[in-house]
Structure 1
Amino acid sequence: MSNRLLPLLLAALLPLCLPAAGARAETREARTLNSVGVDQRVGERVPLNLRLRDRQGRTVTLGQLLDGRPTLLELAWYDCPNLCDLSLRRLGSQLSDVKYRPDRDYRVITVSLDPDEGPADAAHAAAMLDESYQGPATGSPWHVLTGDRDAIRRLAAAIGFRYQYDADTDQYAHPAGLAVLDGGGRIASYLLGLTFSGHDLQLALTRAGDGELGSFVDQIALRCFHFDPQKGAYTLDVLRVLNLACLVTALALALGVGTLMWRRRRHGPGRDDQEGS
């Protein structure tokens, strides 16, 4: 091959071998998004001895904050320019429809993904929850926390929360959602995305309360809804509703027949029996 043709051939093939800058950026973004998600770890316990900082800068542990109460746990990025503000405000708004009282009946804990965030960022996040919440509460009942890199990674791994820091954009890519813990710190369920309702939150807390939270009617309502781990939400279970309706009908019939038989024995034979004798 001529020495003159070789440089021309290499110049023609080079664009095919090296992706354009835009394509490289697209590939990097796709890899980042593929590494983000939630691996549901229902039944596993979060590290209760994990040390974090509250909005006053004081060191606290998860065990101290849970104190035996069902808990909604969210990992967020307080300085997020995208969806985190919306996520926090929506959480506060949906909690307004939950009849249980936060910090008395259940806990709400948010933890920042960014180890560089501190008390001022946590106070800002708490203010967003305060502004959007319209339910019964005293003061600011949220536990808005920050932590060092190791503590954040341990907690994220414990609840299966996969996030990614992109140094090029200086941003965190992360999923949206909540882990719902029982009073012992075990994961009872998840509520994923931003579409869950106040009704979903109340059902999740009732379930995590293991019979200690909610009335008898709440426990019955819980039996009528099925937790869908794929959707991360509670959906009406038609079969359970029909079974429950059949059970109620059978009990009502048994009660009616029992009442008639009791009255018959108490008052003796009826008029028709006397005429026939």
Structure 2
Amino acid sequence: MGLRVRLALVAAMLGVVAGGMAFAQGLGGKPLGATAQEMPAYLKGAGIVERLNQPLPLSAQFVDEAGKPVALGDYFHQRPVALALVYFHCGMLCPQVLHGMAVGLKGADFTVGKDYDVVVASIDPMDKPDDAAKAKAEFLQTLGQSGPTAEAGVHFLTGEQAAITALSEATGFHYVRTPGPDGKMDQFAHSSVVMFATPEGKMSEYLAGIEYPARDVRLALVDASHNKIATLKDLVLIYCCNYVPSAGKYTVAVLRILGFAAMVTLLGIGLMFYFLTRRRRMPGAAA
């Protein structure tokens, strides 16, 4: 192959590459595929804004799974509350959130209705008490607790848009309507999160994801209860772990553990020194 032919082939290849780069720059200066990977504009309104220590709208009116009108404040007394916002006709994310919530609470080894309450509220004003009752039955089955105490401690609510909006704004739980497979705007885009509130009705913690470790759930309930349901083991774990709001989980507090270990070491050395000097001062002790 002659030199001129080789140069022509190289020039043609460079032209293809340059043309591809120019096409990519024509897409707003973004690389190919960037447009498809970006979140649609209408979904940017869905997400979580943590409102720690902020009060809930306790006067907001809902309807429970039995069809009885209730106020949100009816469920805030002397116990912490595990809270979730879902919708009962959801076929994907919401059942996973509720399942993960029930599994985490089951592993936390507390008694619902005695140590804490559960409040699950629908963000869809089209949901009805029958839908809530069905979802509650499935939740209790996964939770593995039954009887009057469990029934009285788990509450699945539906409500009008005004009450739903008040609760979602207070918790920072933002969602947007999206089209379903049939094109109807009857679906919702939202975050997967379980929240915890104090007995006074103030937001305490958020756990993100669809699986909630039993340890994190237990510590979140203990924190929300102001340590009223804590055991000595819980207090040690709380000391050794930090709740990280940005991550929505508990992490090991390395510095605290090192400090605790240092104190134990110093205490041990002090006790050893005390007993050694005491032994030497005792009559008849060896020199």
Q: TM-score, normalised by structure 2?
A: 0.78
Aligned position for 1:210: 226
Equivalents in 1 of 2:283, 2:146: separation in Å?
59
1:69-218 to structure 2, matched below 5 A, reads 69-134=79-144, 138-140=149-151, 141-166=153-178, 168-218=184-234
Equivalents in 1 of 2:240, 2:109: separation in Å?
19
Give yes or no for contact 1:89–1:132 (8 Å, CA) kept in 2: yes
Query: Is 1:269 equivalent to 2:283 in the alignment?
Result: yes
Q: Which of residues 246, 265, 276 is equivalent to 2:262?
A: 246
Structure 1 residue 90, shift from structure 2 partner: 1.9
Equivalents in 1 of 2:64, 2:204: separation in Å?
24
Equivalents in 2 of 1:213, 1:264: separation in Å?
47
Aligned position for 1:3: none
Indicate the percent of aligned positions where both proteins have the same amino acid: 31
Corresponding letter in the other structure for 2:264: V
Give yes or no for contact 2:113–2:150 (8 Å, CA) kept in 1: no
Residue ranges of structure 2 left out of the alignment (5+ in a row): 1-25, 27-35
Q: Over residues 55-86 of structure 1, what are the superposed CA-to-partner deviations in whole Å (9 max), with x where a residue is unaligned? A: 11112222221212111110001110211112
Residue ranges of structure 1 left out of the alignment (5+ in a row): 1-15, 17-25
Equivalents in 2 of 1:93, 1:270: separation in Å?
64
User: What is the SS of the residue equivalent to 1:180?
Assistant: strand
Change (3 A) 1:52 1:258: farther
Corresponding letter in the other structure for 2:139: L
Change (3 A) 1:243 1:31: same
Q: Over residues 202-260 of structure 1, what are the superposed CA-to-partner deviations in whole Å (9 max), with x where a residue is unaligned? A: 01111112121111221111111111212211111222211122222223333444455
User: What is the SS of the residue equivalent to 1:60?
Assistant: strand
Equivalents in 2 of 1:135, 1:58: separation in Å?
23
Q: TM-score, normalised by structure 1?
A: 0.81
Equivalents in 1 of 2:192, 2:123: separation in Å?
12
Structure 1 residue 263, shift from structure 2 partner: 6.6
Q: Over residues 128-182 of structure 1, what are the superposed CA-to-partner deviations in whole Å (9 max), with x where a residue is unaligned? A: 2122123687443411111110000000000111011236432111111022111
1:26-41 to structure 2, matched below 5 A, reads 30-41=40-51
Corresponding letter in the other structure for 1:254: G
User: What is the SS of the residue equivalent to 1:69?
Assistant: coil
Corresponding letter in the other structure for 1:156: S
Change (3 A) 1:124 1:263: farther
User: What is the SS of the residue equivalent to 2:40?
Assistant: helix
Aligned position for 2:53: 43
